[in-house]
Amino acid sequence: MSYNNQFTAETQLKVSPFFERTSKLNESQEWRRWSGYLAATNYELTHENEYFAIRTKAALLDITPLYKYIIEGPEAQRFLDRLVTRNIYICKVGQVMYTPWCDEYGKVIDDGTVQRLSEHKFRITSAEPNLEWLQYNATGMDLIISDDSVSTAALALQGPNSRVILNTTANDSLDSLKFFWMMDTKFGDIPVSISRTGYTGDLGFEIWLDPKDALSVWDLLLEKGNPYGITPTGLQALDIARIEAGLILLDVDYISSRHAIIEARKSSPYELGLGWAVKMQKKDFIGKQALQREVAGGSEWEFMGIEIQWSELENHYRNVGLAPRLPSTAWRTSTPLYYNQEQVGYATSGAWSPILKRYIALAHIKSPFAKEGTVLDFELKVEHYRKLTPAQIVKTPFFDPERKRSCPK
């Protein structure tokens, strides 16, 4: 039997329009799957330099695999306001809002950003496909939903030098672009949209462009960014940065209620630390009634940061004759948390923070035990044996630099 591959591109894993460049730059040839795309795990053999690019220079990430939908029409605003928990009526043209959206039981389906592109045109991003849910809820409304996932390519430029690089590349200055706002500009004659958003908790931007311009934009940014330390960056570095920023990840920190199968796997926005994004004063939105009941009765879970205490961790290793070991990359294995030997929660992702020099994790904790400052026991494996080691509940974000929100004077 011959194995000559006759499949059309549609049956393979997708490659982004930047693949021609990223595939050649990827020294490690390590790839992960992201929404059916090949996405670089790290470009170098270890992710460290890429992580520090996010925090000290500028990291360039291909984020094309994000799902993106365009909602356009006279009722687009009304539709989105009903769909998500944030108040879209106060979202101005050029503004971006991060928001979760829920099912009618108030359980989170997905989270992403809503960008207001014009009076009647919005873009919404998501981690999973949401076309079905959007279309269900748009029945009878005067708007058109189109899948923008493939028709728009996207890059993230994140890090303290990201603005200066864009200022030397774009025809307009980005100095006055505020956190969670966006603008249209051009790189020479290439039109791009730039939003001041990201998944790193640092100063950063996301660039939205026509896929046909992908390679030109990539080359231009690498050229202009070279003096400022621009670094193609993979998902491993990003994962550490997003944990430091306290940003949740679908299918790691929570499961979409559309796919949860059992009730216990579902979470409300309050149970994911997103209560701030639920605008109860809004007239109506999907899940509002259930969430009102939850507010009245209290949530079962809270989502908090924990910090695994250093000296006890060190002791565990010293007891077996080893120097302390730390995870070199972010982990995603659900890890039990105890209080007085009773399991009261579980951490869903964690990492050693190279910038904070702290061992941190994001955790679901039963509400009565979720007070800031409480010390829980974190399960740790030391030389094949399970140990409990103290971890203190702390606020997120763990890392929140002033530059994230500020504009140059």
Among 21, 32, 78, 258, binds other proteins (CB under 8 A): 258
Instruction: Kindly state the smallest distance separating residue 112's Cβ from other proteins, in Å.
Output: 16
Stretch near other proteins under the rule CB under 8 A, chosen from 1-9, 86-94, 268-276, 358-366: 1-9
Segment holding 235, helix H or strand E: helix 235-244
Among 20, 27, 33, 356, binds other proteins (CB under 8 A): 33
Nearest to 198 by CA among 88, 303, 55, 87: 55
Nearest to 23 by CA among 66, 62, 80: 62
Positions 218 through 247 that interact with other proteins (CB under 8 A): none
For residue 72, state whether it binds other proteins (rule: CB under 8 A): no
Segment holding 271, helix H or strand E: none
Nearer Cβ to other proteins (5/281): 5
Nearer Cβ to other proteins (9/323): 9
For residue 36, state whether it binds other proteins (rule: CB under 8 A): yes
Nearer Cβ to other proteins (10/342): 10
Q: Do 182 and 94 contact (CB within 8 A), yes or no?
A: yes
Among 11, 281, 340, 341, binds other proteins (CB under 8 A): 11
Nearer Cβ to other proteins (127/165): 127
74 upstream amide cis, omega within 30 of 0: no
End-to-end CA, the chain: 68
Instruction: Kindly state the smallest distance separating residue 12's Cβ from other proteins, in Å.
Output: 7
State how far the alpha carbon of 31 is from the alpha carbons of 19, 147, 196, in Å. 12, 25, 27
Positions 145 through 164 that interact with other proteins (CB under 8 A): 147
What is the rounded CA–CA span in Å between residue 364 and residue 264?
12
Task: Using CB atoms within 10 Å of the CB of residue 45, give its burial: 0 to 12 exposed, 13 to 18 middle, 19+ buried.
Answer: exposed
Nearer Cβ to other proteins (37/346): 37
Nearest to 208 by CA among 238, 185, 189: 185
Q: Do 353 and 240 contact (CB within 8 A), yes or no?
A: yes
Among 29, 46, 135, 343, binds other proteins (CB under 8 A): 135
For residue 10, state whether it binds other proteins (rule: CB under 8 A): yes
CA 26 to chain centroid, in Å, comes to 22
For residue 131, state whether it binds other proteins (rule: CB under 8 A): yes
Number of residues that bind other proteins (CB under 8 A): 25
Nearer Cβ to other proteins (11/281): 11
Binding positions for other proteins, rule: CB under 8 A? 1-7, 10-14, 33, 35-36, 129-132, 135, 147, 258-259, 261, 263
